[in-house]
Structure 1
């Protein structure tokens, strides 16, 4: 199933105020619909004004199991889909966990937590031999239940995706999706690895599990109307968030977000990315994903969401501060 364009329906953030400089001016841009390689860039009519890191910017220290006081209501609302969708999108396919003596997991290896001399060991059965060479491209927006279904299977299959946000009245990717696909309908998927493109969320799900999974659609994504209904009901508390365009500068290069669909903190960040129409490569890292260890090796810590902005060189944890950074850097007054 799919939805027409007009439909609406992180790990833990620690409070740390940040100050940012004034915003930069906007550039007129034209967008390439397809990525040429894994380091996709946004094509412009003229050389874009380089973005720079905000003056005196200091990335906040990641703090687990804390929620910024001013964001508690938002996090609670963003967590509602976990209930309606039975945590679909939280775990990679074939997820399992066990408690093992802490000595069995080296200090430089990621483990969610340690208690009484034991560490939590998480594994999955994702088919790592069938990974796409280039990120799959999906035109969608956050508050669409059909789009959510596709994002859930992306998390389950541990796939990396280049998301082109298509908020209502967005001047860039929504018109481009209509131009290349011929319909004002979302989600719309393009797989540059196979030359396949398609509408209809259920068709996209079947394609992805057939091409990059074991061919079996997870039960919670195979219930037809009930799947779509629960996806929509889960968005009630955040109705309209991540669906309407906020004027913003388009970055020369897509941002990179380490995230997964089941996290309410990641959802809050994605709402802003969509509203600002910021293209971003999402590095899926649901529970059981081996990419958690990759981020751990990269930063010495694992927590989602984690934002990397190649346009400014900024890398940062903490959903609340990521949202502030995105609005300050890209939103237009």
Structure 2
């Protein structure tokens, strides 16, 4: 399938998310240690948790558990007693949870200092939206493919509803590559203007969200996704280039 068609299908998936997973409202308490989420990109229930994490501006390590995966699926069964996803582990409190609704409620109470917003509470509508977002992507981000395991987790600057970052996260899942997700949710109106248009309009763009500021300092511009591979020293923008890199470096 052509890359342009993949992007088009990913855009449809983003639209089905009904506005969730784009903006960030921030959190009250910052975790001292990074949250751990055992999940798979194509799972609608995992998507609900990732949407909440973007809204809360909470970074997390994604441990991909695609169907047929042999790296992290068995670990979840040993830790929690069953292979069910998503599965959250919070090393700060010792909390471990299955069930997306329970995880979302925990995250807002523990780190948001507030109840979960209504758009996350209405479970039937929320789940329906997540299921609709999965349909355009078919089986992407669900099934395992052979790969070499990296020594250190990769780093991805992303936000949940980005159609471009989604393609990269799908490939990370399929290759079972653990990744630190650095949230880049939008928190001001200038963030909604695409980088080429900002440049064309000569906008004096100054990011305010923490990871966007860090990305600007690191790379000189802001675009999502942005990959850092500490195993090879590689750093790069552009989803297609990132996917090609992952295949060259880790796919078997």
Q: Does the pair score TM above 0.5?
A: yes
The aligned counterpart of 2:194 is none
Matched, 1:292 2:191: no
Matched, 1:314 2:213: no
1:299 CA drift (Å): 1.1
Query: 1:290, 1:329 → 2: CA distance?
Result: 30
**Contact 1:89–1:261 under 8 Å retained in 2:** yes
Query: 2:93, 2:113 → 1: CA distance?
Result: 18
1:235 CA drift (Å): 1.4
1:219 CA drift (Å): 2.1
The aligned counterpart of 1:302 is 222
**Contact 1:166–1:173 under 8 Å retained in 2:** yes
- Runs (4+) of structure 1 moved beyond 6 Å? none
Higher percent of residues as helix? 2
Query: 2:221, 2:78 → 1: CA distance?
Result: 42
The aligned counterpart of 1:73 is 5
1:214 CA drift (Å): 3.0
The aligned counterpart of 1:91 is 23
* CA-atom RMSD in angstroms: 1.3
Query: 1:177, 1:90 → 2: CA distance?
Result: 29
Q: Number of paired residues?
A: 231
**Contact 1:85–1:220 under 8 Å retained in 2:** no
Matched, 1:328 2:248: yes
Unpaired segments ≥5 residues, structure 1: 1-69, 94-125
The aligned counterpart of 2:81 is 182
1:212 CA drift (Å): 1.0
The aligned counterpart of 1:130 is 29
Query: 2:40, 2:248 → 1: CA distance?
Result: 21
**Contact 1:80–1:235 under 8 Å retained in 2:** no
**Contact 2:10–2:167 under 8 Å retained in 1:** yes
Give the match's secondary structure for 2:89: strand
Q: Which moved more, 1:211-220 or 1:275-284?
A: 211-220
Query: 2:117, 2:164 → 1: CA distance?
Result: 24
1:223 CA drift (Å): 1.4
The one of 105, 118, 121 equivalent to 1:206 is 105
The aligned counterpart of 1:53 is none
TM-score (norm 1): 0.68
Higher relative CO (CA 8 A, sep ≥ 6), structure 1 or 2? 1
**Contact 1:256–1:281 under 8 Å retained in 2:** yes
Write out per-residue CA displacement over residues 163-216 of structure 1, whole angstroms, 9 at most, x where no aligned residue.
100001111101111111101210000000111111010000000001111322
**Contact 2:13–2:136 under 8 Å retained in 1:** no
1:143 CA drift (Å): 0.9
The aligned counterpart of 1:148 is 47
Query: 1:222, 1:173 → 2: CA distance?
Result: 29
1:228 CA drift (Å): 0.8
Write out per-residue CA displacement over residues 205-239 of structure 1, whole angstroms, 9 at most, x where no aligned residue.
00000111132212221111221111111111101
**Contact 1:81–1:87 under 8 Å retained in 2:** no
